[in-house]
Structure 1
């Protein structure tokens, strides 16, 4: 090594110990520029991390949604016995609905029908008038009540309880019950050795919501349920 060659010091200090300015650093190193670039890179790393995290959250959410829809569709296709409806409801015996036709029983039966008696017209799903099946079924059950009491009392059946109408209603209700196939599990009453259907919570459709919808889209304002 020649006498005029020497290693350059990384930090040249003055006599008072202060570090020289960046311009005096070897190899053109500028610490302020390095710090700025480091902060710039850190900022972009944070932005990239945030975008990736947001994308993962969105992907997870969408995956869960479509997976839920798939499972729901598969459950419908399978033979799972899930009751239709989401409303918890307990049946309690109401003798008024089984009473002889009269002011009290007719008033109670009138409460289960909306204005328009369940005949609706909707611009999308029913551009021409239709009847909601649940109200046809209730009408038929009430007709059987009328026929039952007419037979008990030895009276001539009225138009609602004519034999042909009653026969129609019996088979219509049979098929309606089988079509809807309520799969709620009814506890056995040990004293009776069977089931009563009353006194336990079951899953039901929201009849209040159905009645409100039927009332909104009714074709007329008639309120009787004959």
Structure 2
């Protein structure tokens, strides 16, 4: 898979909470078989690249957030309205839209091409029990500890 420079730009169409267009856009990120494939060399059993599973999970979080948000607004819990000012910043729709879009762009920028084998019992993948090639979180943490206060 080739790499190319890409500047992240916010695309609110992917984050509109109650839009059939938004759901269609998310569905359009997936190949026709939702990312499942079989290949004679890299996956002789039904499998999926991890990035498609991760995008599926992010979309599920998006749908879950908006479902719970709508439920809370409709019940008027804690005098909640659809106004962003009614919630702490971390929970506000504006902030959640930003977070979801940034994570979507990041997953698509650095897609995890780990092959996840289909769990026949579940009929899908779990994301667990598969070895990934990851950047060292410990190395990043050590680097940050050394440089985060530089020049401050």
**Which structure would you say has the larger Rg?**
1
TM-score normalised to structure 2 length: 0.45
TM-score normalised to structure 1 length: 0.31
